[in-house]
C-alpha cells in the first residue's frame, strides 16, 4: 500500500513539473508566436501596432505580455516566460544584471522617452523655493538620470566622479537645499501634487496625460542620450530570427510615422 501511495505521489509531482514548464517557458519553435513583455505606454501601444499592422505580412506572430512596473518584464525574461522584452534602456538592464546575476542582451534601441521635470506649484525652475521637495525615481539607474537632469538645469551639481547610478551622496552642491525624495517610478505622477517638483519617466508621464515636450519645465535632450529603450533578450536568443525580424519592424518607417503621429514629440524614435 505504501509503495502505491509513493508511486502515485511521484506521478503527480512529475505531472505538476511538466505542467509548470509548459505554462511558464517561452517557445523556442521558430514558427511559434514571439512573446514580448512590455509596459503599457508607449511600448505596448507601439508593439500592438506592429502586431496588428505589420507582423502577419512579414511572417511574424507576436504575443504582447503587459506589465505595469519595471521589475516583472525582466523577471519574466529571466524565467523564460517570454523570449524578449521591450521597456528598458541599457543602464537599467545593467543594474538588473548586477542585482540578479542574470546576463541579458540588448539587441537594438528603438525610442527615447525624455525624462522631464514637472510641477503643479511653480511655473519655471527659477521660481523653485529654497528647501523644495523633489521626487525622483527610486531605481538606481533612473535616480542617477534624474539627478543629472536637475544638475543640467542648474538646480544642483554632482561630484565629477558621480556614477550613472548617482544618489544624494554624489551631490557636490545643493544651493537651494533641495530635499530629494525617491519614489517608485509608477508613483511619481500620483505624487505630483504633494511635492514641489517631480522628475517623471516618460512612459508614466504620458499615461498621466503629461507631455514631456509641452508640460515639462525641463526635459532631456536626445543628442548623445544613453537612455534609449530597446529590445532585450537572453544572450542565446539574440540571433533568433523572430527577434531580429521584430527589431527590423520596430525600426522601420511605419513605426517611425506611428510614433510621430501618436506622441507628437513626447516619444522620440532613435533609429
Q: What is the pLDDT of residue 195?
A: 98
* Structure confidence at residue 124 as a pLDDT band (50, 70, 90): very high
Q: What is the pLDDT of residue 13?
A: 38
Calpha distance 216→229 (Å, rounded):
20
**Architecture field, domain 116-219:** 3-Layer(aba) Sandwich (3.40)
* Structure confidence at residue 24 as a pLDDT band (50, 70, 90): very low
Q: What is the rounded (10 degree) CA torsion for 43, 113, 268, 99?
A: -70
**Using alpha carbons only, what angle is made at residue 128 by residues 176 and 214, rounded to the nearest 5 degrees?**
135
Q: What is the pLDDT of residue 29?
A: 74
**Using alpha carbons only, what angle is made at residue 108 by residues 102 and 114, rounded to the nearest 5 degrees?**
95
pTM of the complete model: 0.84
Q: What is the pLDDT of residue 17?
A: 34
- List helix spans (H) across the chain: 2-24, 45-50, 72-78, 90-100, 140-152, 202-207, 212-215, 241-250, 253-263
**C-alpha grid cell for residue 214?**
509641452
Q: What is the pLDDT of residues 28-56, one digit of tens each?
A: 676 799 999 999 999 999 999 999 999 99
Contacts of 16 (CB under 8 A, 6+ apart): none
Q: Which CATH class is domain 33-113+226-269?
A: alpha beta
- Per the listing, cell 517570454 goes with 82
Peptide bond into 42 cis (omega under 30): yes
Q: Is residue 23 pLDDT above 70, yes or no?
A: no
Question: 95 vs 223, which has greater pLDDT?
Answer: 95
Cβ contact 142:92 at 8 Å? yes
Q: How would you label 65-91 residue by residue, b for 16+ Cβ within 10 Å and e otherwise? A: bbbeebebbbbbbbebbbbbbbbbbbb
Q: Can 33-113+226-269 and 116-219 be said to share one CATH topology?
A: yes
Q: What is the pLDDT of residues 170-217, one digit of tens each?
A: 999 999 999 999 999 999 999 999 999 999 999 999 999 999 889 999
Q: What is the pLDDT of residue 222?
A: 87
Q: What is the pLDDT of residue 25?
A: 57
* Structure confidence at residue 27 as a pLDDT band (50, 70, 90): low
On average, the pLDDT of the chain sits at 90
Q: Is residue 22 pLDDT above 70, yes or no?
A: no
Q: What is the pLDDT of residues 224-270, one digit of tens each?
A: 899 999 999 999 999 999 999 999 999 999 999 999 999 999 999 98
Q: Read off the pLDDT of each residue in 84-100 and give the average, rounded to a whole number.
A: 96
Residues above pLDDT 70, as percent of the chain? 89
Query: So where are the chain's domains?
Result: 33-113+226-269, 116-219
- Per the listing, cell 525622483 goes with 136
Amino acid at each position: 500500500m505504501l509503495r502505491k501511495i509513493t508511486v502515485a505521489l511521484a506521478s503527480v509531482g512529475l505531472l505538476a513539473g511538466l505542467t509548470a514548464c509548459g505554462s511558464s517557458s517561452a517557445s523556442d519553435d521558430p514558427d511559434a508566436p514571439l512573446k514580448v513583455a512590455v509596459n503599457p505606454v508607449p511600448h505596448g501601444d507601439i508593439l500592438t501596432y506592429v502586431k496588428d499592422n505589420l507582423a502577419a505580412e512579414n511572417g511574424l506572430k507576436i504575443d504582447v505580455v503587459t506589465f505595469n512596473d519595471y521589475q516583472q518584464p525582466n523577471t519574466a525574461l529571466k524565467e523564460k516566460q517570454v523570449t524578449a522584452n521591450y521597456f528598458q534602456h541599457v543602464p537599467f538592464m545593467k543594474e538588473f544584471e548586477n542585482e540578479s546575476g542574470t546576463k541579458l542582451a540588448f539587441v537594438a534601441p528603438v525610442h527615447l522617452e525624455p525624462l522631464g521635470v514637472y510641477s503643479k506649484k511653480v511655473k519655471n525652475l527659477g521660481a523653485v523655493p529654497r528647501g523644495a521637495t523633489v521626487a525622483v525615481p527610486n531605481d538606481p539607474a533612473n535616480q542617477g538620470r534624474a539627478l543629472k537632469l536637475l544638475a543640467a538645469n542648474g538646480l544642483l551639481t554632482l561630484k565629477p566622479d558621480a556614477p550613472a547610478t548617482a544618489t544624494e551622496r554624489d551631490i557636490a552642491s545643493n544651493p537651494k537645499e533641495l530635499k530629494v525624495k525617491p519614489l517608485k517610478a509608477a508613483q511619481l505622477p500620483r505624487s505630483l501634487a504633494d511635492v514641489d517638483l517631480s522628475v517623471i519617466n516618460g512612459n508614466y508621464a504620458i499615461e498621466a496625460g503629461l507631455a514631456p515636450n509641452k508640460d515639462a519645465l525641463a526635459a532631456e535632450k536626445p543628442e548623445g542620450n544613453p537612455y534609449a529603450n530597446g529590445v532585450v533578450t537572453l544572450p542565446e536568443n539574440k540571433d533568433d530570427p523572430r527577434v531580429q525580424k521584430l527589431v527590423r519592424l520596430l525600426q522601420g518607417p511605419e513605426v517611425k510615422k506611428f510614433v510621430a503621429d501618436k506622441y507628437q514629440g513626447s516619444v522620440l524614435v532613435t533609429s
